[in-house]
Structure 1
Amino acid sequence: MFRARRRALAGLLCAAAVLPAAAVAGGAAARLQVLTVAGGELLVDRPLAGQARWCVAWNHSVAGFAVHDCYLWRDGTLWLERSHQPDFAAGLGHLAGRGVQRSDGQGGYWIEHIDEAVPGNALRLRVGAPAVAHRVLIDGERIDLSVLAARQAVWLRVVPPLQDE
């Protein structure tokens, strides 16, 4: 138990060390990072410009279609902004009072204006097998989390830019 905690702490400290070097090299910018929960291994580290938007997408385990949860980084806070669901399959649906459901014009729907702050600017995700294909979609890029960390728990977090003191 102690060894696992020490590895996790070491991994987080290593991940934290990446941020200052990146901030100095490329100007101060918030960073989207994906780290393994078990060991703190940094899997993804991307700069975010201004009010950045991206989605976490995956294939529904029963129906197989893509589901998207879309996030916004704004004013130092990570927000769940909207979600796209092509069907009312198991585990999906709109909850009254949580955003506005609108048709996507193709038989599915968007839940827009969810606008929920993500606690601690981080979310924990259990990455699915390759068939589930958990992925981050950002600036036209697809980062396949199921290739990087299938069946592992990861943190998807935004680290604010360093402030000059």
Structure 2
Amino acid sequence: MISLKPIILMLTDKPVWFGGLWFRKVDGAAAYAKIRPDALPLPAAWVVRSADKGEPIGERLDSDEPEFDVVIAIENARGHEPGETDEQLLKYRQAVYRLLRGEEGAPDTRPIKWRGGRVIEYTEDDLYWADRYSFEGVINNYLPDPAGFNSINRTGGTL
């Protein structure tokens, strides 16, 4: 139940140390669900929530460990050397890893953990890869303060 928008924002701007073209599009799950591969500007990345693990830790407090995938899509354009496309994918994966592991200022949470990765799809035109990450946070269910007292409401009873 913690927003992943700060993760999307972390991945949006090209880091100064990254050589080459950065993601043309970084978005969330709703955009990922509407992918049209024929009209997709690559490279692209999406942050897609995969699970929320919660546990009570006190009165109106819960620990929350959101898991999310960073889906990376690049063009499958074979170069002159075997393995060049895989090296390009690895370059993007390592950059995302570096950003999310805190070298560039992660959100105010416990460190983001890498949980592994997997192929989503390899086609003639493009490659889709997902790396799973998680982090721990604390959420609360504190009720808002009541409105300030400004008068007595008479209900017809006697004092």
Normalising by the smaller structure, the TM-score range is under 0.3
TM-score by length of 1: 0.24
TM-score (norm 2): 0.25
